[in-house]
């Protein structure tokens, strides 16, 4: 099934939103996706399979390596999915220390390190 076509205005909004929520570099995300913590979290179609978030991380890396002019309709559809997931999931932040939580690990699979903003703000 082909993704919905987006007009230029929608593409620009999706692009900006994606750049805002994906705060990991391609190399940071690649390194993270190789960890056991990354592979253990998230919804899997079957027990032996790859989680939806882990698979998404691979797509995000591909998107981050592309020039904006080379992004496809499918890329924009996935970028919109990433933005929606990160917004929904960050709203469900657990209380207390999040360092070693499935919540944080899942967000990292989607290219968002929730501690990154906090660490940056703490250095000001």
Cβ(75)–Cβ(63) below 8 Å: yes
Q: Each residue of 77-104: b (16+ CB within 10 Å) or e?
A: bbbbbbbebbeebeeeeeeeebeeeeeb
The answer on pLDDT for 118 being more than 70 is no
Domain ranges of the chain: 25-33+51-124
Q: What separation in angstroms does the CA of 28 have from each of 6, 62, 111, 124? A: 29, 13, 9, 23
**pTM of this prediction?**
0.86
Q: Retrieve residue 12's tokens.
A: 């620009």
The alpha helices in 41-101, defined as continuous H runs, are 52-64, 73-90
pLDDT tens for residues 29-65?
Answer: 999 999 999 988 887 777 767 888 889 999 999 999 9
């Amino acid at each position: 099934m082909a993704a919905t076509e987006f007009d230029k205005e929608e593409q620009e909004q999706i692009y900006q939103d994606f750049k805002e929520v994906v705060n990991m570099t391609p190399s940071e995300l690649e390194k993270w996706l190789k960890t056991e913590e990354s592979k253990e979290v998230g919804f899997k179609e079957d027990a032996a399979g790859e989680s939806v978030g882990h698979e998404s991380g691979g797509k995000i890396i591909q998107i981050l390596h592309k020039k904006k002019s080379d992004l496809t309709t499918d890329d924009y559809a996935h970028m919109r999915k990433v933005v929606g997931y990160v917004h929904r999931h960050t709203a469900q932040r657990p209380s207390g220390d999040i360092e070693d939580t499935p919540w944080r690990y899942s967000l990292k699979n989607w290219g968002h390190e929730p501690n990154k903003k906090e660490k940056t703000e703490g250095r000001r």
